[in-house]
Amino acid sequence: MSPLMMVRRIGFYVVIAVLMAFFAVPMLWLASAPFDSKPGLGLRWPDWTLDNVKTTFEHPYALASLWNSLVICVVATAITATFAALAAYALSRVRIPGRDLMLYVLLLLSSVVTGTAAMVPIFVMMFQLGLINSQFGTALVIAGGMLPAAIFILKDFVDSVPRSYEESARVFGASPFQVLTHVVLPVARPGIATILVWAFVNAWGNFLLPFLLIREVGKQPGAVLLRTLQDEGGSANLTVIPVFSLLYSIPVVVLYVLVNKRYGFRFHGGIKS
C-alpha cells in the first residue's frame, strides 16, 4: 500500500469516527443522564439514582403531555394514511390530465402549507372555526401538511400492484372498495407501513403548530412542554428533561422496530406485472 493510499484510508476512518461520535455522544447522554443524581450538559459516568424518574412522574404535566402527543399523532397518522391511500389509488388508476404535474405541485406546496409562511392564515382560519386549543384541529392541520408527500410516496406502491389482481377480483363480483381494501392495500402493506411510521414521526416531533394552536398547558404535547421545563431560576431543569426526553423517544423507537421487523422500509413499490 502506497503512503498516499494509507493517508487516505486513515483520513477516511478518522472522518467516520468523528461522525459516529457526533451521533453517539447525545445517545449516551440520553441513556445516562436520567439516572445521574447531578445531571449536567456534559457526558460523564453517572452517580446512579432513580430520584430523577420520581421527580418527572410527579411533574403535573409531563405524563399528560406524552398522552396528548400520542392522541394528536394517532389522529394525524390515521387521517394521513387513510386519505393518502384513497387518493393514491385514484391517481394511480384514473387517467387525469396533468396528473403528474399536479402531484409535483402538491409536493412542492406541502413544504409551505405548514411552514412559517402559512402560520398566520392557519391561525386565523383555526380561530374562526373555533378550533384553537383543539387537539383534533391541530392533528387535522398536521395531517393536511403531510398528505401531499404521503400521496406522492404511496402512489408508487399502488402503481406496482398488477392490474390483473384487480381484474380477477372484479370477475368474482368485488366492488371497487373491496378491490382496494382486499387486494390493493394488502399488497401495498410495506408502503402503508412506511407512511404510518413517517407520518407518526413527523407529527410526534412537530413543535410549531401545537405551540401556536394549543394555548392550554394541559392540552399541549410533549414537544411543546419540553421547552417549558425550567427550574426556579429559569434555567433548563436537568432533573426532569433527561428522563422526559428518554420517555419521549420510546414510542418512535418502538414503532420503528416493530414495523421494520414485520415489513421493512422502502420508498418505492416492489411488485411488477
Q: Are 212 and 119 in contact (CB under 8 A)?
A: yes
Structural domains of the chain, with CATH: 54-262 (1.10.3720.10)
Residue 48 φ then ψ, to 5°: -60, 135
Sign of the alpha-carbon torsion through 185, 189, 194, 197: positive
pTM given for the model: 0.81
Residue 97's H or E segment, with its range, is none
Question: Which 3 state secondary structure label does DSSP give 39?
Answer: coil
pLDDT tens-digit map of 150-205:
888 888 888 888 888 888 888 888 887 888 888 888 888 888 888 888 999 999 98
pLDDT digits (tens, 9 = 90+) for 97-140: 777 777 777 777 666 655 667 788 888 999 999 989 999 999 99
- How many other CB atoms sit within 10 Å of the CB of residue 114? 20
In angstroms, the CA 224 to CA 268 distance is 34
Q: Using CA atoms, how far apart are residues 188 and 105, in angstroms rounded to an integer?
A: 24
